[in-house]
């Protein structure tokens, strides 16, 4: 009696479900039909596509973890655009032509295009495999800091995972955190956006595929980005506060802070970074009221300019000129 390991069985079943009776005659043929130039070039380079597509690969690559690819949108047989759609190249749509690899033995087995950490394939080559189908989804890719710094699509995406880590806020944040620890660590600070709860993600403010905006923000600048949610602060105000119209991040630490309201500094110090020499004293104790010889300056009593200038983001009140109401 023939014996199948459960794993092999699952792989076979997967293959049967996917291809059914309409198994493409050979992936090499479909390649030729779909992309004659590419197929000819591949043949010239001695790197032809395997004859039976995924069936060839699964003979050797049967790990259960790899087979999750069939449960993702990439495995959809009824989507003609997907790697497993009719006439497509299946595994080789991403990993490149694999005939020589499948036939090779030991040291004579040429490498496939591989992705992510530990891959020897140049990042630009890796990304070009994905961009062949996803140019539109990553249209700003080339202007972004990630492309400039050789970040690969597969540094963030995992095509063999049951669920792509970018799909949920928490797994997205963890992945970004592998490279951006400082920003992700902000979720442990007392004043922060609700990212740790999964209610917001890095992509609430950033465009991971690149954008022409500073810090790859989703909108032209921080003010535009922040006021997509904090629309009450968008203005314009009759009495504007100049830094607020320029950059919210002048005063706020968007990734979290130890100070209330996610301010970069506490109390008067936040304001005194710019208003050191303002018309009224900004020091609690001056020459006239040294400690023990008088009361602290009313302007900084209780440590906060906001006691009087409460409309710090701007005011529409007729007498709000000094941002006091």
Site for ligand HEC in 182-211 (CB under 6 A): 183-184, 191, 193-195, 200, 202-206, 208-209
Cis? peptide before 308, omega within 30° of 0: no
59 vs 316 by CB, closer to ligand HEC:
59
Residue 296 as a binder of ligand HEC (CB under 6 A): the answer is no
Q: Does 233 bind ligand HEC (CB under 6 A)?
A: yes
Tokens of 241: 């506060």
42 part of the interface to ligand HEC, by CB under 6 A: no
Q: Which of 12, 23, 29, 61 binds ligand HEC (CB under 6 A)?
A: 61
Classify 183 as helix, strand or coil: helix
Sites for ligand HEC among residues 140-169 (CB under 6 A): 141, 145-146, 149, 151, 153-160, 164, 166-167
In sequence order, what are the residues at sequence separation of 6 or more whose Cβ sits closer than 8 angstroms to the Cβ of residue 72? Answer: 159, 161, 162, 164
Distance CA 210, CA 164 (A): 19
Helix axes 36-44, 27-34, angle to 10 degrees: 120
Segment near ligand HEC (CB under 6 A), from 29-37, 40-48, 80-88, 286-294?
A: 80-88
As a whole number of angstroms, the longest Cα–Cα distance in the chain is 102
Residue nearest to ligand HEC (CB): 279
For residue 282, state whether it binds ligand HEC (rule: CB under 6 A): yes
To 10 degrees, the CA torsion angle through 39, 40, 44, 47?
10
C-beta closer to ligand HEC: residue 1 or 106: 106
List for the chain the helix, strand, coil content (%; round to 5). Answer: 45, 0, 55
Q: In whole angstroms, how close is the CB of 139 to ligand HEC at the nearest point?
A: 10
| DSSP-assigned letters across all residues of 13-46 | HHHHHHHTT---S-HHHHHHHH-HHHHHHHHHTT
With binding defined as CB under 6 A, does residue 178 bind ligand HEC? Answer: yes
Stretch 8-27 residues interacting with ligand HEC (CB under 6 A):
none
Pick between residue 39 and residue 102 the one whose CB is nearest to ligand HEC. Answer: 102
195 is written with which tokens? 């990212």
Is 39 one of the binding residues for ligand HEC (CB under 6 A)?
Answer: no
Among 18-26, 33-41, 278-286, 287-295, the segment contacting ligand HEC (CB under 6 A): 278-286
Among 43, 131, 189, 196, binds ligand HEC (CB under 6 A): 131
Nearest approach, Cβ of residue 143 and ligand HEC (Å): 10
- Alpha helix positions (H), the chain: 6-19, 27-34, 36-44, 54-60, 64-67, 91-95, 99-103, 123-134, 145-148, 153-156, 169-177, 181-185, 222-226, 242-246, 267-272
Using CB under 6 A as the binding rule, whether residue 47 contacts ligand HEC is answered as no
Q: Is 100 in the site for ligand HEC (CB under 6 A)?
A: no
Nearer to ligand HEC, 4 or 198 (CB): 198
In angstroms, the CA 126 to CA 188 distance is 35
Q: State in angstroms the smallest separation of the CB of 206 from ligand HEC.
A: 4
Subset of residues 101 to 120 that bind ligand HEC, contact rule: CB under 6 A: 101-102, 111-112, 114-116
Q: Does 52 bind ligand HEC (CB under 6 A)?
A: no
Distance from C-alpha of 292 to C-alpha of 143, rounded to nearest angstrom: 60
Look-up: residue for tokens 């008088």? Answer: 294
The token pair at 60 is 């050797």
236 binds ligand HEC (CB under 6 A): no
Q: Which is nearer to ligand HEC, 189 or 200 (CB)?
A: 200
| Least distance in angstroms from the C-beta of 74 to ligand HEC | 4
């Amino acid at each position: 009696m023939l014996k199948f390991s459960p794993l092999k069985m699952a792989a076979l079943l997967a293959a049967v479900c996917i291809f059914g009776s309409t198994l493409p005659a050979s992936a090499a043929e479909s390649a030729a039909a779909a992309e004659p130039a590419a197929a000819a070039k591949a043949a010239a380079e001695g790197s032809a596509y395997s004859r039976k597509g995924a069936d060839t690969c699964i003979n050797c690559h049967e790990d259960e973890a790899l087979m999750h690819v069939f449960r993702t949108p990439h495995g959809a047989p009824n989507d003609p655009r997907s790697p497993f759609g009719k006439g497509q190249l299946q595994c080789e749509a991403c990993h490149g032509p694999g005939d020589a690899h499948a036939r090779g033995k030991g040291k004579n087995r040429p490498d496939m295009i591989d992705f992510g950490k530990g891959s020897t394939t140049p990042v630009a080559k890796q990304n070009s495999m994905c961009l062949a189908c996803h140019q539109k989804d990553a249209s700003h890719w080339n202007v972004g800091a990630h492309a400039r710094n050789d970040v690969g699509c597969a540094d963030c995406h995992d095509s063999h995972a049951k669920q792509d880590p970018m799909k949920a806020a928490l797994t997205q944040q963890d992945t970004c955190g592998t490279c951006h620890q400082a920003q992700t660590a902000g979720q442990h600070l007392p004043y922060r956006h609700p990212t740790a709860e999964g209610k917001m993600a890095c992509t609430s403010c950033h465009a991971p595929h690149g954008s022409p905006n500073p810090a790859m923000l989703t909108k032209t600048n921080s003010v535009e980005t922040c006021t997509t949610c904090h629309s009450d602060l968008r203005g314009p105000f009759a009495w504007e506060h100049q830094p607020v119209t320029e950059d919210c991040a002048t005063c706020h630490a968007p990734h979290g802070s130890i100070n209330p309201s996610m301010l970069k500094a506490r109390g008067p110090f936040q304001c005194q970074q710019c208003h050191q020499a303002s018309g009224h004293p900004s020091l609690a104790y001056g020459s006239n009221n040294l400690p023990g010889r008088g009361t602290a300056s009313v302007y900084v009593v209780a440590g906060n300019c906001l006691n009087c200038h409460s409309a710090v983001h701007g005011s529409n009140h007729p007498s709000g000129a000094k941002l006091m109401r």
